[in-house]
Structure 1
Amino acid sequence: MTLLSTRGLSKSFSGLRAVHEVDFDLPEGEVRALIGPNGAGKTTFVGMLCGRIEPSAGSVSFDGHDVTALPAHRRIRAGMAYTFQITSIFGRLTCHENVALAVRRRNGPLSDVTHALDRVGLADRAEQLAGDLSYGHQRLLEIAMGLAQKPRLLILDEPTQGLSDTEIDAFCALIRELKAETTILLIEHNMAVVMQTADRITVLNFGEILAEGDPDQIRADRTVQAAYLGTEDA
């Protein structure tokens, strides 16, 4: 079953084409990675999926329903959760309180707070102020907030940025574990993470889909190598 799809999704800013007529399908239960060079349109595309950016043209469907006109909070209620490229936490609240807000949003039990923090390795920091965490731990806290919502679709934008090698290994293990529970869209520059965790990969370039396939297909694709994998600029 296709959980998320777009048709002809486009966005221009003052005449500058950021995303152009993207047709995209994400089946339920899949881990999909979205990659591409800087300026490829990834953040704009995800913003339209989440409802934070209004498309210039095209449509977004989620769970068989057209959600193109729905605001972000309505999409969250429908089962989407996402983390931002720049962390979005409440710095003056504890880690426990941050996750509790996400749990209360869906009227879930507070026991889910401890479970979510434990899954990302922050159970021992539950009473620490979120603003005092390292940047990497703030990223993990935001993932815990997303998990606490028990979403049908979890969108993670640059989740490993600021994480140590050990934390990245734990993150990859978590993604493999979560695959049985939720569909994941992963926007990630760390290609080792992408190749380890993704079932399929979509490559954006100049606002259009350049290629799609499994990790082996994308690794061997010469157009992708030329546009992205063969450069250091991610």
Structure 2
Amino acid sequence: MDAMTILSTKGLTKSYGGIKANTDIDFALPRGKTMALIGPNGAGKSTFVGMLCGRIPATSGDVFFEGENINALPAHQRISLGIAYTFQITSVFAGLSLHENVALAARRRLGADVAAVDAKVADVLARVGLAERTDQNAGDLSYGHQRLLEIAMGLAQDPRLFILDEPTQGLADSEVADFITLINTLAGETTILLIEHNMDVVMQTATHITVLNAGEVLAAGTPDEIRANTAVQAAYLGTSDA
């Protein structure tokens, strides 16, 4: 694997009863960059990301992280390697405070060092704009704020790769603007894979874009190249949900 690539796939395929959700996907994620994965509903984005994270077993093909084949590793072991991710559906602990939610994530890397954990919690909650809510129960947050809390939980692990699945869903316009700023401040700190329908977010954050359609890679390139690609325009950018 190229030293400039942190994660890649070769021929990655997922079939359900003979129906292919993803077909022979070759994919490369540049280290330290923000890549967006886009495509119409039903394009196979969530299935593909599930195979990257280890939540969905591949039917065939390979996933490589830092040059090593991780096909056999379950999701929790991939997290230990430095892969963090958020889901389309929030997965916070509703009965715990924001501080406790983020502390649980931080302890994966920092262990029982209370001072270090508390400092990390304060830092990431401030970065996502939730510092003043640290003692509030996560279940009392709006859906959009729960999305931000999930991002804080991911950041608390200091991931080498951070996969964000529809992170701006449910956010107000001002929160989307703050999210764009946050992602751009993370440039170089970590590698980000952003699965996102909001094309303003994509175009303002991503240096590279991969487009899936009908479970296959339709195109890959810079934002300008994707914007000018007629096949992408026909399949996705011209649709109402873009």
Give the root-mean-square deviation of aligned CA atoms.
Answer: 0.7
Tell me the matched-pair count.
234
Instruction: Measure, in 1, the Cα distance between the counterparts of 2:223 and 2:30.
Output: 17
Q: Assess if the C-alpha contact under 8 Å between 2:23 and 2:215 holds in 1.
A: yes
Is 2:98 the counterpart of 1:90? Answer: no
**Partner in structure 2 of residue 224 of structure 1:** 232
**Partner in structure 2 of residue 213 of structure 1:** 221
Is 2:17 the counterpart of 1:14? Answer: yes
Instruction: Kindly provide the amino acid, as one letter, of the partner of residue 208 in structure 1.
Output: E
Instruction: Measure, in 1, the Cα distance between the counterparts of 2:120 and 2:39.
Output: 35
Instruction: Measure, in 1, the Cα distance between the counterparts of 2:46 and 2:169.
Output: 15
**Partner in structure 2 of residue 181 of structure 1:** 189
Aligned match for 1:192, one of 200, 217, 236: 200
> Normalized against structure 2, the TM-score is what?
0.95
Q: Assess if the C-alpha contact under 8 Å between 2:20 and 2:215 holds in 1.
A: yes
**Partner in structure 1 of residue 108 of structure 2:** 105
Aligned match for 1:30, one of 22, 29, 33: 33
Is 2:44 the counterpart of 1:41? Answer: yes
Q: How does 1:114-129 map to 2 (within 5 A)?
A: 114-129=122-137
**Partner in structure 2 of residue 203 of structure 1:** 211
Instruction: Kindly provide the amino acid, as one letter, of the partner of residue 101 in structure 2.
Output: N
SS at match of 2:185: helix
Q: Assess if the C-alpha contact under 8 Å between 2:34 and 2:205 holds in 1.
A: yes
Q: Assess if the C-alpha contact under 8 Å between 2:105 and 2:154 holds in 1.
A: yes
Is 2:144 the counterpart of 1:144? Answer: no
Q: Assess if the C-alpha contact under 8 Å between 2:197 and 2:241 holds in 1.
A: no
> Shift of the alpha carbon at 1:61?
0.4
Instruction: Measure, in 2, the Cα distance between the counterparts of 1:121 and 1:148.
Output: 14
Instruction: Measure, in 2, the Cα distance between the counterparts of 1:145 and 1:14.
Output: 36
Instruction: Measure, in 2, the Cα distance between the counterparts of 1:196 and 1:14.
Output: 39
Q: Assess if the C-alpha contact under 8 Å between 2:11 and 2:62 holds in 1.
A: yes
SS at match of 2:51: helix
- Percentage identity across paired residues of the two chains: 68
- Give unmatched runs, 5+ long, in structure 1: none
Instruction: Measure, in 2, the Cα distance between the counterparts of 1:64 and 1:79.
Output: 14
